[in-house]
Structures are given as C-alpha cells and as structure tokens.
Amino acid sequence: MEYSRRLARVPDSYFGKTMGQEVKHGPLPLINMAVGVPDGETPRGILDTFAEALYQPENQKYGAFHGKATFKQAIVQFYKRHYDVDLGPEEEVCILYGTKNGLVGLPTSIVNPGENVLLPDPGYTDYLAGVLLADAIPVPLQLEPPHYLPDWTCVSSDILSNTKLVYLTYPNNPTGSVATLETFEEAVQLFKNTPTRIVHDFAYSAFGFDAPNPSILQVEGAKDVAIEIFSLSKGFNMSGFRVGFAVGNKTMIAALKKYQTHTHAGMFGALQDATTYALNHCDDFLLEQNAKFKRRRDNVELKLRESGIPFEPMKGGIFIWLPTPKGYDGEAFVQYLLQEQSILVAPGIPFGENGRHYIRVSLALEDAQLDEAMERLGSLAPLYQQ
C-alpha cells in the first residue's frame, strides 16, 4: 500500500499506535497511567436520555447537517451560565464529531499552503497532523517551566508576519499548567487587527484546582480573532461518545461548518439529545469531577514530595508532568517503568521537543491503584539522586 505524499509526511499518531496494543511488562500487575480516559461512569441521566432518544423516529433518519436547535441552544446557555459569554447559535456555534476532528480539520479550513501555524511545545500530539495535511508550516511555540505560558517576545516578527493560526491549550495537555484571563488578553491584543487567528483547545475546562479555568471568549474582542473548542469527553465522562463543539469567531466557524458538510453528515440525533441533557443538567457533576481530581492531585504531589521525586506543579487537567532521571529520555524511562515497576505512562517526546526528558502520568485511576503507583514510583527516588 502506498500513501499519498501528503499523508506520508504526517507522523503516525502516538496514541493511534499504542491504544489497544498488548503491553509487555514486568512481574507486577500492570498499572496503566498512559491514557487520559476518565475512570468514572457517564452520569445516569445522560445514558437514560440517550437510550430513550434511540426510539424517537426522527433520530433514525438523516438529521440537519449543522445540528438540532435544542443542542445549539444548550451550548449557548452553557457558555452564558459558566463564562457569561453570549453566543449566536447559528453563526458562532459548530458542533463537532469529537473535538479532535475540529482541531485537525481547522488548518485545512482556514490556512493556506506555506503559511505558519504556531503549535505549543509541549502540546497535544495531533495538532501537527492537521497542519501538515493543510500543507502549512508548523512552528513550535516554546513553553517553558514552571508555568508553560507563551512569551510572545521570543517569537520573531518574521515568523509572526506569516502566521495564520495559533493553537493554545489550557489547562495544558500534557503539563497541567493553566492560563489566566490576562494570558488570553495578551494573545488577543497581539493578534487584533492582523490576519492571525487563535484556536483555544479547552478539552480540560472542568479541571481547575486553584481557580476556575477562564474561557478565551471572556476577553473583550476575542470573538474577532479566536474560537474555542470544547470537549465533553473528560468533564462529563463521555469520551466514547465523541462529541464536542467550537464557538466564537463567525468566519472560522463558517469555515469549519463548510468543511464538515463535505467530511461528515449530520450528527446522530440521539447523541445530540444526550449531549443536550448533559449541558443542561450536569453542572453539579462537573464540580464533583473537579473536586475528585483536585484531591488526587493533592495526594500525588504530597507523595512525590515525600519521596523526593521532582514534578511540575499541576494546576489543572488530569495529568502530572514528571522529568526523567538523569541518563533517560522519556521513551527510555517509559520502558524502564514498564519492566521494573509494571507502570505504563506516556513519553513526553510526542508532545514536542520540550518534552524529550519528561513523562506524562494520568491521574484517571481509582484511588487504590493511584496509591500503589505512587509507592512504586517512590521506590525510584534514588534514580533522581544520582
């Protein structure tokens, strides 16, 4: 089989290669801390709504390409309730068949071949694929510890002048860092009245441990330059449902909607009904999710400090970002952990060059497994003292 030249330029998806593969590990029971799939169940009300909606005749036929009015209105009301952001349901909302489809499809929708796209380094692995499929030029947006926020003074004016799109993601996957409203204000002001647009990946919006996570659309004028992509996978325990949405800048939304009319038909109506229920009725569940992962974060950071293992402060999200011991890069340390401690984590390298000497550790495990994992990791403290 031969790939097209365009597809051949795209590296294999790290998680596409690894999820579902048999894992060879050491003698201890395997603890999988590699994938960010929430460990709880989907709220019962969402499932009941989904099940009932299956029997509605209108949900067994083709639906409107751009979604039900009830679903779009629920998105509008959710953003008003949580972020005090006003949205137009038709021009400023685009439903997505999993947010990854929107994040990867956006460059093809609005970026021309040869234009720059700034990608956070470290940042989510599959942004790069979307840039390469659009024949655009990926440029790392260097994020430095401990806060992993953009320093725009370090990006050359030559790069910025040819940049069409900038990806931001907070809480950051993989580092667990968060942004303030001032972070977004700086970005919006920088790109105001320029051809550059911003997409903020808000996949871990529910998880802000020291303060609620702001939306970039809360910034005055943000809708002139930015969209935000919201996922229900993590906060609502709906990762298998593959549903999310983009909101904000009308032109970017129109481009995504046009793109999707050629790549997808209308979203399954029962899925839209279940998601509408989630947005309208699960605010308390989001608070519970945040409290659960904050407690886990506090416990894990305490145990790491007691063991003397360094880590980057985790302010949000569901991952903690650990440097590797001296003499190991991320991939080598992943193999060491598998064979010596039967712990599976993700190497930092797929998230960008700045992740080469890090591993990403998911906290989406039951408490007993998480405690056992911390004991095993704690036994490796001597590696960090060499």
The domains of the chain are located at 5-42+284-380, 61-282
The 10s digit of each residue's pLDDT in 72-81 is 999 999 999 9
Q: What pLDDT is attached to residue 16?
A: 56
Is 70 exceeded by the pLDDT of residue 21?
Answer: no
Q: Given this model, what pLDDT does residue 240 score?
A: 86
Q: Which amino acid is at 206?
A: A
Residue partners of 196: CB distance under 8 A and separation at least 6? 160, 163, 164, 165, 166, 225
**What pLDDT is stored for residue 18 in this prediction?**
58
CATH match of 5-42+284-380 with 3.90.1150.10 = yes
Q: Per-residue pLDDT averaged across 46-51, rounded?
A: 96
Residue 64 pLDDT > 90, yes or no? no
Compute the CA torsion angle 125, 258, 67, 285 (nearest 10 deg). Answer: 20
pLDDT at 17 over 80: no
The predicted-structure confidence for 260-280, as pLDDT tens digits, reads as follows: 888 887 888 889 999 999 999
Confidence band for 286, pLDDT divided at 50, 70 and 90: very high
Contact of 352 with 123, CB cutoff 8 Å: yes
Q: Is the pLDDT of residue 5 over 90?
A: no
Residue 36 has pLDDT above 90, yes or no: no
Lowest mean pLDDT, pick from 115-129, 252-266, 287-301: 252-266
Residue 164 gets which letter from DSSP? E
Amino acid 143: pLDDT = 97
Region class of 328: left (phi > 0), else alpha (psi between -120 and 50), else beta = beta
Structure confidence at residue 19 (pLDDT):
56
The confidence band for 1, taking pLDDT boundaries of 50, 70 and 90, is: low
CATH domain 61-282 topology: Aspartate Aminotransferase; domain 2 (3.40.640)
Hey, which residues does 319 pair with through a beta bridge? 362
Q: What share of the chain in percent tops pLDDT 90?
A: 82
Query: Could you report the per-residue pLDDT of 148-176, keeping only the tens digit for each?
Result: 999 999 999 999 999 999 999 999 999 99
Contact 197, 163 (CB under 8 A): no
